[in-house]
Amino acid sequence: MIVLISDTWHLFNKYLRITLRMPMWALFTIIQPLIWLLIFGQLFKNMASLPGFPVGRYMDFFLPGAIIMTVLFGTSWSGVSLLREINFGTVEKMLVTPVSRIAIVMSRVIHSAFTVIIQCVIITIVALIFGVRASSLSGILLSFIVVFLLSVGFSSISNGLAMWLKREEPLVVIGNMMTLPLMFFSSAMVPKSFMPEWIRVITMVNPIDYAVEAIRAFYAGAISSESVFTGLAFLVLFALASTSWATEMFVNQSE
């Protein structure tokens, strides 16, 4: 176990260094969700005045959505970069050492989650500057647990899919294909009361919906509410299931 943690740490360290050497990349991945936040905030502004819409401005409502978009876009690259490392022989260089195979996947997943969290911190700060309301600082901080779990889940899926598809192109296509429907089948953009029944049913198995609801509850100060509890429970299961699938895929293929 200690070996696994230290292996993961050293590899995580490497990925972090590489990311820090690409400031432009980091910049653009932050700018994109900010654009979502501002554009969607403006586009759907009037929706907030519809009867049945939760109180507040649309931007208040949409902030969790922008955070989730950051997660989805930020993590979908993880698998692509895994394929690149495989093609460059970098992964092979790891595999000839006794390093834990699980650590190779975990370091990637945690690195991906870490960069997403940094991006979300910046988006949150910008949103607060634009006047988005949060009931408490602890609520904001706790919402990053949700971001972490969701990122771990989706970057695992990206890595797992990479090992399954073995090609960059289909991976990117699937990543893009997943993103928007997952957003639409959740209350990220539209409150549940506005949804047709069948979409509402789908949201019940969509991890994104649980994440959105949990973040909203944290922002509203309902830290011990039911949506926080079920949301976190669902997300923990989701993260565990997808990391085990991804490591399973990788370990299987590398032996």
Collect all residues with Cβ–Cβ distance below 8 Å to 90 and sequence separation of at least 6. none
Residue selected from 68, 99, 127, 149 as contacting another protein according to rule CB under 8 A: 99
Choose one: 46-54, 91-99, 184-192, 194-202; the region binding another protein (CB under 8 A).
91-99
Residue 91 falls in which region: left (phi positive, over 0), alpha (psi -120 to 50) or beta: alpha
Residue selected from 72, 83, 117, 171 as contacting another protein according to rule CB under 8 A: 83
Q: Is residue 17 involved in binding another protein (CB under 8 A)?
A: yes
Give yes or no for a contact between 108 and 159, defined as CB atoms under 8 angstroms apart. Answer: yes
Q: How far is the CB of 13 from another protein (least distance, A)?
A: 8
Residue selected from 42, 90, 138, 193 as contacting another protein according to rule CB under 8 A: 90
Closest among 237, 202, 187 to 53, alpha carbons compared: 187
Nearer to another protein, 11 or 72 (CB): 11
Nearer to another protein, 18 or 201 (CB): 18
Residue selected from 94, 102, 171, 190 as contacting another protein according to rule CB under 8 A: 94
Q: Is residue 87 involved in binding another protein (CB under 8 A)?
A: yes
Collect all residues with Cβ–Cβ distance below 8 Å to 116 and sequence separation of at least 6. 70, 71, 74, 75, 147, 151
Residue selected from 26, 34, 95, 145 as contacting another protein according to rule CB under 8 A: 95
How many Cβ atoms from other residues are within 10 Å of residue 252's Cβ?
Answer: 10
Backbone angles phi, psi at 159, to 5 degrees: -65, -40
Q: Is residue 10 involved in binding another protein (CB under 8 A)?
A: yes
| Cα(165)–Cα(22) distance, integer angstroms | 27
Cα end-to-end distance, the chain, whole Å: 21
Q: Which residues bind another protein (CB under 8 A)?
A: 3, 6-7, 10-11, 14, 17-18, 21-22, 83, 86-99, 166-167, 252-255
